[in-house]
């Protein structure tokens, strides 16, 4: 394994099992890569160097005894919104400065139980609110394909780290596209599971009815491996569903014969970037060559998705973020009384985007406006979910763009929140409907920026979208390309 940092989980796992590489080698290589590359990208906000090496030494001993889980000795980065025992969990916000987690999130605990090494904390938009990773108390993350461009958000640190070879894989969260969009912008694979597939216990909530934890990886097989490890019912999360967990890796057959894939006409708009449109349509044609049948589909309520999403998401954010008040942990500003202290603390330590969403959410929940905004948005959400249920009676999965554009320049949209929000048009619908979605690299623009193909499947349809994504990925070479300035080899 010539360049461990650029290997896939599958390749690294095989090398560890064959003894051609140790976990200590793998972690040491990644730590060296982080040391040399992270200052230009700002993907990691902290790295637990000594703990990672200690975990690697323990994994090597476990493997020598012929024991260990499916991820024994595999290092994984964690988005700074998921709790890991003893590590900071600042959610890229000043208001949680100094907080360290006393427990593992269930998804993290399940990876740990399979032997994964938890390498460090990855940058993000503050409290997962953003599409560009510019809303962070730690500063913006840069896209390794072009550091003048955004990596996407809110899991921008996770995607940039995987793309730049400073993480084999990473955990992200997806509330309205925050795994799939940065994966598309950075040329990675990003999976948003069905709502309830992975426990949210230990995830700092943004919008509780929309949030999901998922992997950002180099290959579809890696995403399948992490999904298998993290999935399953959890009594600590009342929204976690008790459904059987398939072996997702075993379902990656590469054969699309007999599958019917839908092309929703509402997702191919006049305003979509021409290079994105061309790349996605080329990928659709390629899936046909692999044996799939492509059919025309309509999702008529898509035009209401952005308005619906930003009412529901901000309302839930307003409620969830009320707990950050300076009383029990994190930053605190002095005040004349408790109410004054709350106001001063939140004004001083929440960022502009978080304040904007709290204010919007409080407004739509307020007396006199609840029925006009929040209740109506929930009704439209049901119509959007019904659109998908109807579509999946006609096809097995849907093919769409991930974003209307490739990655844009840093600062290009910060002055226009509405323009930023509109970029989520193709991703928020999956969260509103509670279905699964996958982003797979499908091309590059002339400027060398990645483009992603989105696959949407019904609830608990991960096997199907992973199967389609894997077949497409393995018959193309997009996932094998590396950002030139960061590469130095590639093992896939």
C-alpha span between 81 and 221 (Å, rounded)? 25
Which residues face 88 on adjacent strands? 100
Task: Give catalytic status of residue 154 as yes or no.
Answer: yes
C-alpha span between 171 and 441 (Å, rounded)? 18
Catalytic residue among 131, 155, 158, 178: 178
C-alpha span between 455 and 135 (Å, rounded)? 28
Catalytic residue among 154, 184, 240, 318: 154
Task: Give catalytic status of residue 178 as yes or no.
Answer: yes
Task: Give catalytic status of residue 199 as yes or no.
Answer: no
Catalytic residue among 10, 22, 37, 79: 79
139 CB contacts (<8 Å, ≥6 apart)? Answer: 42, 123
Place of tokens 């060559």: 289
C-alpha span between 12 and 249 (Å, rounded)? 16
3-state secondary structure of 201: coil
Q: What is the largest CA-CA distance in the chain?
A: 70
Contact present, 479 and 8 (Cβ < 8 Å): no
Whether omega before 154 lies within 30 degrees of 0, making that bond cis, reads yes
Specify the pairing of strand 169-174 against strand 189-192: unpaired
- The residue among 197, 285, 201, 112 whose CA lies nearest residue 466 is 197
**What is the phi/psi pair of residue 318, to 5°?**
-55, -45
Q: How many CB atoms lie within 10 A of CB 279?
A: 23
Contact present, 428 and 223 (Cβ < 8 Å): no
Which residues face 192 on adjacent strands? 437
Contact present, 228 and 248 (Cβ < 8 Å): yes
Per DSSP, the chain holds a count of helices (H) and strands (E) of 15, 11
Catalytic residue annotation: 79, 154, 178
């Amino acid at each position: 394994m010539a360049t461990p940092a650029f290997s896939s989980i599958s390749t690294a796992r095989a090398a560890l099992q064959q003894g051609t590489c140790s976990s200590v080698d793998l972690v040491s290589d990644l730590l060296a890569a982080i040391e040399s590359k992270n200052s230009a990208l700002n993907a990691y906000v902290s790295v637990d160097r000594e703990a990672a090496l200690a975990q690697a030494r323990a994994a090597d001993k476990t493997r020598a005894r012929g024991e260990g889980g499916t991820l024994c000795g595999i290092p994984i980065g964690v988005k700074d919104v998921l709790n890991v025992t003893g590590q900071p969990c600042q959610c890229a916000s000043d208001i949680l400065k100094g907080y360290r987690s006393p427990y593992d999130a269930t998804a993290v605990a399940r990876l740990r139980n399979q032997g994964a090494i938890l390498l460090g904390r990855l940058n993000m938009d503050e409290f997962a609110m953003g599409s560009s990773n510019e809303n962070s108390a730690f500063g913006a993350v840069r896209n390794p394909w072009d550091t003048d461009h955004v990596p996407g958000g809110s899991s921008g640190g996770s995607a940039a780290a995987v793309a730049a070879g400073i993480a084999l894989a990473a955990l992200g969260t997806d509330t309205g596209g925050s795994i799939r969009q940065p994966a598309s912008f950075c040329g990675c694979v990003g999976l948003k599971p069905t709502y309830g597939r992975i426990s949210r216990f230990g995830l700092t909530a943004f919008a509780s009815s929309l949030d999901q934890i998922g992997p950002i990886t180099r290959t579809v097989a890696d995403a399948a491996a992490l999904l298998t490890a993290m999935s399953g019912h959890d009594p600590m999360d009342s929204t976690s569903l008790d459904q059987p967990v398939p072996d997702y890796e075993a379902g990656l057959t590469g054969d699309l014969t007999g599958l019917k894939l839908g092309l929703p006409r509402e997702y191919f708009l006049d305003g979509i970037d021409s290079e994105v449109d061309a790349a996605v349509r080329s990928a659709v044609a390629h899936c046909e060559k692999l044996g799939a049948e492509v059919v025309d589909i309509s999702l008529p309520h898509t035009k209401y998705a952005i308005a619906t999403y930003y009412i529901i998401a901000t309302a839930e954010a307003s409620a969830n973020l009320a707990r950050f008040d300076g009383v029990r942990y994190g930053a605190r500003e002095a005040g004349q009384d408790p109410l004054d202290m709350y106001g001063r603390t939140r004004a001083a330590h929440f960022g502009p985007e978080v304040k904007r969403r709290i204010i919007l959410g409080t407004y739509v929940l307020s007396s006199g406006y609840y029925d006009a905004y929040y209740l109506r948005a929930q009704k439209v959400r049901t119509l959007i979910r019904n659109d998908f249920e109807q579509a999946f009676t006609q096809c097995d999965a849907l093919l769409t763009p991930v974003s209307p554009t490739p990655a844009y320049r840093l600062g290009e949209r910060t002055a226009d929140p509405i323009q930023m929000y509109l970029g989520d048009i193709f991703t928020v619908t999956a969260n509103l409907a509670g279905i699964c979605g996958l982003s797979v690299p499908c091309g590059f623009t002339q400027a060398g920026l990645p483009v992603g193909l989105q696959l949407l499947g019904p609830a608990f349809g991960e096997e199907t979208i992973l199967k389609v994504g894997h077949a497409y990925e393995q018959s193309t070479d997009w996932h094998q390309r590396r950002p030139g300035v960061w590469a130095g080899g590639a093992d896939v």
